[in-house]
Structure 1
Amino acid sequence: MRALTVEPGRAGSLAITEVPDPEPDAGELLVEGLALGVCGTDREIAAGEYGWAPADRQRLVLGHESLGRVRRAPDGSGFAPGDLVVGVVRRPDPVPCGACARGEFDMCRNGRYTERGIKQIDGYGSELWCVEPDYAVPLHPDLVGVGVLMEPASVVAKAWEQVQRVGERSWFEPRRVLVTGAGPIGLLAALLGVQRGLEVHVLDQVTDGPKPALVAALGATYHHDPVDTVAARLEPDVVIEATGVGQVVFDTMAHTASYGVVCLTGVSAPGRRLTFDAAGINRELVLENDVVLGSVNANLRHYRQAADALAKADPAWLNGLITRRMPLARAAEAFTARPDDVKVVVTLDG
């Protein structure tokens, strides 16, 4: 079968290669790959900047944003042929740490976790793949065209859960949220904010292309003015930061409402230094009981929350997030970003 593979650490090694058909272990599902989402992490791996191959070979099957259809399922697995499924990315470490032992492997304490398509386990970028039933999440059949958005939606579901948990250390009734960045994470964060009944604002640099219209279709408000201007005007109760741009992070931290919660989901590029008023930021955080937290990855609970959120969403709106679909034979084109891209998807079933 064909698979999208790379040699981690070597730029230019991305290729479609022939690999043996997988043989499911006892209890595993055999799944026909339908689609694969491409994100910044995949592009970093393809560029040789990140990633780890399985211990017994040099190449890694890419892909952690999955969508597939069950071809074979063992009795008692809870799945049947034809079911639409997504595979969970992370697996708990073998020790395990306290968090992994309790199913909170997204919060692994010792870093010995593994991840499909990223760290030491082959991903979902192949025409067939296997997955343990405990790490497969069912999707409604109506989501066949957009279910590949499940993994980024799970990251967003976790972020919102963490915001809620932090806020509930006291009375918490947020009204206004500012999402910085209108990529897939930012737009899905806005979707979940709207589903929570909040007044949602999204900020991004672009003034044309699909992003402003996608925000408007949610009933949210799109902004492209400087972040400090927008944040100061809005004084949001919650900020979901999805750019990883250092200046954006600090500008939003400085302009939340009292008892504001800023959740950082974007990973900053190393190397750039910023000068900022650390004492002033500290003063505001302390005197206003503000919180800044980071959030990454997701566990099974968050995948199920994401499945519920996608099932409630307008399928046409979700489909609008997918701005390019590339067949597997042209998968390399998905790794070159274009100005109007939101989510690029590689189709595996044709």
Structure 2
Amino acid sequence: MRALTVDPRQAGSLRVAEVPDPEPAPGELLVDGLALGVCGTDREIARAEYGWSPPGRPWLVLGHESLGRVRQASPGSGFTPGDLVVGVVRRPDPVPCGACARGEFDMCRNGQYTERGIKEIDGYGSQVWCVEPDYAVTLDPRLERVGMLMEPTTVVAKAWDQVRRVGERAWFEPRRVLVTGAGPIGLLAALLGAQRGLDVHVLDRVTDGPKPRLVRDLGATYHSDPIDTVASRLQPDVVIEATGVGSVVFGAIEHTAPYGIVCLTGVSPSGRALPIDAGALNRSLVLENDVIIGSVNANLDHYRQAAEALARADLDWLDRVITRRVPLTRFAEAFAAEPDDVKVVITLDEA
């Protein structure tokens, strides 16, 4: 079969290769790959900036934003042939740490977790793949064209879950959310905010292309002014930060409403210094009971929450989040950014 492979130690090694067909272990599902979402982590791995291949060989099957259809399932697995499924990305560490032992492998304390398509386990970027039933989630059959959005939706489902948990340390009825960044994570965070009945605002630097309309079609408000201008005017109760841009991060933190919660989902590059009034920041956080939290990855509860959110969403809107689809044979196009890109998808089921 064909698979998208990469040597995480060597930039420019991304290619489509013939690899052995998978043989499911007892109880595993055999799945025909349908599509694969491409994200910033995949591009970092392709540039040899991140990632680990499985022990004993240099190459890794890339891809963690999966979508497939079950070909073979064991009796009692909870799955049947034809089911639309996604595979969970992370696996708990073998020790395990206290969090992993309780199913919270997204909160692994010792860093010995593994991840499909990222860290020491082959990913889902192949025409056929296997997955343990405990790490597969069924999707509504109507989501066949957009189900690869499941994994990024789990990221924001977790972010919203963490915001709720932190907020409920005291009376908590947020009204307004500011999402910074209108890429896939930001748009899906806005979707979940709209589903919660909040007054949703999205900030991004672009003024044309598909992003403004996608935001407005959620019933949300789109902004392209500087973060200080927008956030100081809105005074949001919640900020979901999805850019990783240092000036945006600190601008959002500075201008929340009292008891504001800022959830950081974007990973910032190192090496850039910003002038920060640390004393003023500390004073604001303490006197207003504000909170800043980081959030990454997701556990099985978040996958289930994401599946429910996607099933409730407008399918046409989800389909428009996917701005390009390219076949596996033209994978390089998916890794070359175009001006109006939001989410780029590689199809795996072409003849």
Supply the distance in 2 between the matched residues of 1:48 and 1:157 (Cα, whole angstroms).
29
How far did 1:339 drift?
A: 1.4
Supply the distance in 2 between the matched residues of 1:339 and 1:176 (Cα, whole angstroms).
30
Supply the distance in 2 between the matched residues of 1:273 and 1:60 (Cα, whole angstroms).
34
Aligned residue pairs total 350
Secondary structure in 2 aligned to 1:115? strand
2:140 alignment partner in structure 1? 140
1:302 and 2:302 correspond: yes
2:32 alignment partner in structure 1? 32
1:123 alignment partner in structure 2? 123
Supply the distance in 1 between the matched residues of 2:338 and 2:257 (Cα, whole angstroms).
36
Unpaired segments ≥5 residues, structure 1: none
Over residues 151-207 of structure 1, what are the superposed CA-to-partner deviations in whole Å (9 max), with x where a residue is unaligned?
000000000000000000000000000000000000000000000000000000000
1:264 and 2:270 correspond: no
Supply the distance in 1 between the matched residues of 2:222 and 2:152 (Cα, whole angstroms).
21
Secondary structure in 1 aligned to 2:33? strand
2:187 alignment partner in structure 1? 187
Q: Percent identity?
A: 78
2:59 alignment partner in structure 1? 59
Secondary structure in 2 aligned to 1:152? helix
1:283 and 2:262 correspond: no
Over residues 227-271 of structure 1, what are the superposed CA-to-partner deviations in whole Å (9 max), with x where a residue is unaligned?
000000000000000000001000010000000000000000111
Instruction: Give 1:325's aligned amino acid.
Output: R
Map 1:1-350 → 2, pairs under 5 A: 1-350=1-350
Supply the distance in 2 between the matched residues of 1:275 and 1:135 (Cα, whole angstroms).
44
Secondary structure in 2 aligned to 1:214? helix
Instruction: Give 2:124's aligned amino acid.
Output: Y
Instruction: Give 2:225's aligned amino acid.
Output: D
Supply the distance in 2 between the matched residues of 1:142 and 1:56 (Cα, whole angstroms).
40
**TM-score scaled by structure 1?**
1.00
Over residues 26-63 of structure 1, what are the superposed CA-to-partner deviations in whole Å (9 max), with x where a residue is unaligned?
00000000000000000000001110000021100000
How far did 1:309 drift?
A: 0.1
Supply the distance in 2 between the matched residues of 1:194 and 1:140 (Cα, whole angstroms).
21
Over residues 271-305 of structure 1, what are the superposed CA-to-partner deviations in whole Å (9 max), with x where a residue is unaligned?
11111101100000000000000000000000000
How far did 1:333 drift?
A: 1.0
Question: Structure 1 residue runs of 4+, over 2 Å off?
Answer: none
Secondary structure in 1 aligned to 2:325? strand
Instruction: Give 2:62's aligned amino acid.
Output: L
Supply the distance in 2 between the matched residues of 1:170 and 1:49 (Cα, whole angstroms).
41
**TM-score scaled by structure 2?**
0.99
Instruction: Give 2:299's aligned amino acid.
Output: N
How far did 1:338 drift?
A: 1.3
Supply the distance in 2 between the matched residues of 1:155 and 1:221 (Cα, whole angstroms).
22
Secondary structure in 2 aligned to 1:85? strand
Instruction: Give 2:160's aligned amino acid.
Output: W
Instruction: Give 1:35's aligned amino acid.
Output: A
Supply the distance in 2 between the matched residues of 1:305 and 1:106 (Cα, whole angstroms).
15
Instruction: Give 2:196's aligned amino acid.
Output: R
Secondary structure in 1 aligned to 2:211? helix
Supply the distance in 1 between the matched residues of 2:282 and 2:232 (Cα, whole angstroms).
17
How far did 1:209 drift?
A: 0.2
Secondary structure in 1 aligned to 2:326? strand
Secondary structure in 2 aligned to 1:17? strand
How far did 1:133 drift?
A: 0.2
Supply the distance in 2 between the matched residues of 1:339 and 1:291 (Cα, whole angstroms).
35
How far did 1:111 drift?
A: 0.1
- Aligned Cα root-mean-square deviation (Å): 0.4
Supply the distance in 1 between the matched residues of 2:284 and 2:337 (Cα, whole angstroms).
38
Instruction: Give 1:238's aligned amino acid.
Output: V
Supply the distance in 1 between the matched residues of 2:123 and 2:273 (Cα, whole angstroms).
34
Supply the distance in 1 between the matched residues of 2:114 and 2:318 (Cα, whole angstroms).
29
Supply the distance in 2 between the matched residues of 1:25 and 1:11 (Cα, whole angstroms).
33
Instruction: Give 1:95's aligned amino acid.
Output: V
Secondary structure in 2 aligned to 1:129? strand
